[in-house]
Amino acid sequence: MRLVPHFTSIASFVSSYPDVIESVFENVLLVCEEQGLLGNELFAIDGCKMSSNAAKERSGTLDELSQKREKIQRQIKHCMKEHKRLGRRKPKDRERKDQVEQAIDTLGKHFEKIDKFLKTAAPRMGQAKKPKEVKSNITDNESGKMLTSKGTIQGYNGVAAVDKKH
């Protein structure tokens, strides 16, 4: 399980050691200056939300993902029954039979991904005073669902640093 400090813990740490933090920040600026990254007129740091390649649809608590896996398993069984029924019919049903075979293959791959994830994953716990499980993501479990001004994204919190030159 990956532990991440709550922002209030970081703020408390920073406010408890103002001289040390000032020194660290000065050193960061000196390194940026040595690298030619500062324009000497403006320097700003802010948080930003960045999208990941992970699919929002592949997120859920372990219980929700388990329910998705069961639903897919039911869909696979339904498709297999239809495929068997179509096998006894005339060749004109071949196109539909091919579609059902493709659906079984696609559902099977999705089922395997969820099943493999559930066999190895531990619940991701939030950072609140009374931690509760937060949603995991099958394709990128380090990312999270975040609200933005343009809706919900699956991504990361980042830090952007800019100046007038860059």
90 assigned to some structural domain: yes
Q: 77 and 118: one domain? A: yes
Looking at residue 64, its pLDDT comes to 94
pTM above 0.85, yes or no: no
What is the token pair recorded at 50?
Answer: 């960045």
Residues 11, 42 within the same domain: yes
Q: What is the chain's mean pLDDT, rounded?
A: 85
Segment of 7-16, 95-104, 125-134 carrying the highest mean pLDDT: 95-104
Q: What is the CA radius of gyration of the chain?
A: 25
Q: Pick the residue with more confidence: 162 or 20?
A: 20
Residues 92 and 44 in one domain: no
- The parent domain of residue 140 ranges over 7-55+126-163
Residue 150, domain member (yes or no): yes
Q: What distance, in Å, lies between the first and last C-alpha atoms of the chain?
A: 37
Domain count, the chain: 2
Q: Examine residue 2 and state whether it is found in any structural domain, yes or no.
A: no
131/154 same-domain check? yes
Query: Is it the case that residue 149 has pLDDT exceeding 90?
Result: no
**Across residues 6-17, what is the average pLDDT?**
83
Question: Residue 46 falls within a domain, yes or no?
Answer: yes
Quick check: is 19 in a domain?
A: yes
With 60 as the cut, is the pLDDT of residue 1 above it? no
Q: 48 CB contacts (<8 Å, ≥6 apart)?
A: 157, 158, 159, 160
Q: Are residues 25 and 66 in the same domain?
A: no
79 belongs to a structural domain? yes
pLDDT of residue 106: 95
Q: What are phi and psi of 40, to 5 degrees?
A: 65, 15
**Which pLDDT value is given to residue 89?**
63
Q: Are residues 113 and 131 in the same domain?
A: no
Whether 1 is covered by a domain: the verdict is no
In this structure, the strands spanning 124-125 and 144-148 are unpaired
Assigned domain for 87 exists: yes
